[in-house]
């Protein structure tokens, strides 16, 4: 019962942060410099990390943060949970461009606020047209010093599972000759992809060194990225029991 109370309480507080940070951004963002808009969006991420720790007892460790450049790289990440869509907004450098489905832009307040930080909003059913959009807009974002964040599987995947990695991010990396930063984590263990419950514990995030696209085609590059991410996923606890045992064996 306590787990439900804490999880629902956080959900209510998260919704309030959307209003607190998102409404001013949605209404007034067009008057602000882009850097200010990113600062507000990242503040929202930090606020949610703090609330998750305070209300749910859910925190994180992060390894390899030194691999994230200040701008001009493609971050490819495992997608297991809502957690990373909140947390990475606060953890990664301010100037971000997320590749996401365009339907999110239609969500009141949240979607309108997202639009103010200029994501790459694609129609996932558009095939080659969507890939061209990722490449064209992604090159412009990278050229402006922004980090482009992509979930190469395209949708949330439960811990221990994997989906086919899309080629769009690899094409962008090759065309722009931009490094790829691979990221693995086990957030789905504590916050399931279709669940409201948020279990207390420590999410592990591992950030890999840059993968240089020079001399590779998109398929070769994505194979390297997938091997790195999935190889590191296999080393992370994939169940609550395993995660709690890891916490006991390696206390902070």
pLDDT at 250: 72
**Which whole number is the average pLDDT over 217-228?**
98
Nearest Cα neighbor of 186 from 149, 235, 247 is 235
The answer to whether 48 and 18 are in contact (CB under 8 A) is: no
CATH code for residues 2-249: 3.40.1130
Separation CA 13–CA 87 (nearest Å) = 15
Q: Note the pLDDT tens digit of each residue in 182-218.
A: 999 999 999 998 888 999 999 999 999 999 999 999 9
For residues 68-89, average pLDDT:
93
DSSP3 helix / strand / coil % (the chain, rounded to 5): 55, 15, 30
Structure confidence at residue 96 (pLDDT) = 93
* Closest alpha carbon to 58 in 17, 87, 92: 87
Q: What is the mean pLDDT of residues 23-29?
A: 95
| pLDDT of 19 over the 80 cut | yes
pTM above the 0.85 mark? yes
Q: What pLDDT digit, counting tens, does each position of 44-53 carry?
A: 999 999 999 9
pLDDT of 252 above 90:
no
Query: Is the pLDDT higher at 250 or at 212?
Result: 212
Kindly state the average pLDDT of the residues 47-72: 94
Query: What is the predicted pLDDT for the residue at 243?
Result: 86
Name the β-bridge partners of 207: 183
**What confidence category does residue 171 fall into, taking pLDDT thresholds of 50, 70 and 90?**
very high
Nearest to 99 by CA among 83, 88, 109: 88
pLDDT band at 95 (very low <50, low <70, confident <90, very high): confident
CA 97 to chain centre: 11
Confidence band (pLDDT; 50, 70, 90) for 251?
low
pLDDT tens digit sequence for 101-135? 999 999 999 999 999 999 999 987 778 899 999 99
Picking from 122, 156, 138, the residue whose alpha carbon sits closest to that of residue 75 is: 138
Binned at pLDDT 50, 70 and 90, residue 69 comes out as confident
**What pLDDT is attached to residue 215?**
95
pLDDT band at 12 (very low <50, low <70, confident <90, very high): very high
What are the residue boundaries of the structural domains of the chain, listed by start? 2-249
Long-range pairs for 6-12: beta carbons < 8 A, 24 or more residues apart: 6/55, 6/56, 6/57, 6/198, 7/56, 7/196, 7/197, 7/198, 8/196, 9/55, 10/51, 10/52, 10/55, 10/56, 10/198, 11/196
- List beta partners, residue 155: none
């Amino acid at each position: 019962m306590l787990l439900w109370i804490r999880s629902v309480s956080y959900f209510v507080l998260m919704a309030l942060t959307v209003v607190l940070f998102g409404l001013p951004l949605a209404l007034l963002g067009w008057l602000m410099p882009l850097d200010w808009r990113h600062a507000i969006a990242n503040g929202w991420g930090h606020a949610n990390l703090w609330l998750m720790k305070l209300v749910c007892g859910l925190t994180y460790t992060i390894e390899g943060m030194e691999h994230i450049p200040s701008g001009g790289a493609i971050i490819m990440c495992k997608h297991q949970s809502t957690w990373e869509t909140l947390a990475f907004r606060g953890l990664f450098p301010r100037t971000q461009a997320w590749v996401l489905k365009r339907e999110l832009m239609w969500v009141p307040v949240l979607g309108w606020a997202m639009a103010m930080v200029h994501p790459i909003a694609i129609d996932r059913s558009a095939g080659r047209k969507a890939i061209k959009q990722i490449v064209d807009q992604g090159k412009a974002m990278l050229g402006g010093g922004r980090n482009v964040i992509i979930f190469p599987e395209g949708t949330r995947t439960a811990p221990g599972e994997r989906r086919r990695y899309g080629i769009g991010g690899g094409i962008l990396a090759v065309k722009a000759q931009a490094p790829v930063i691979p990221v693995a984590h086990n957030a789905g263990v504590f916050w399931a992809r279709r669940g409201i419950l948020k279990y207390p514990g420590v999410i592990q995030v591992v950030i890999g060194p840059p993968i240089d696209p020079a001399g590779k085609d998109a398929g070769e590059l994505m194979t390297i990225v997938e091997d790195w991410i999935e190889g590191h996923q296999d080393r992370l606890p994939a169940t609550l029991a395993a995660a709690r045992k890891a916490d006991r064996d390696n206390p902070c």
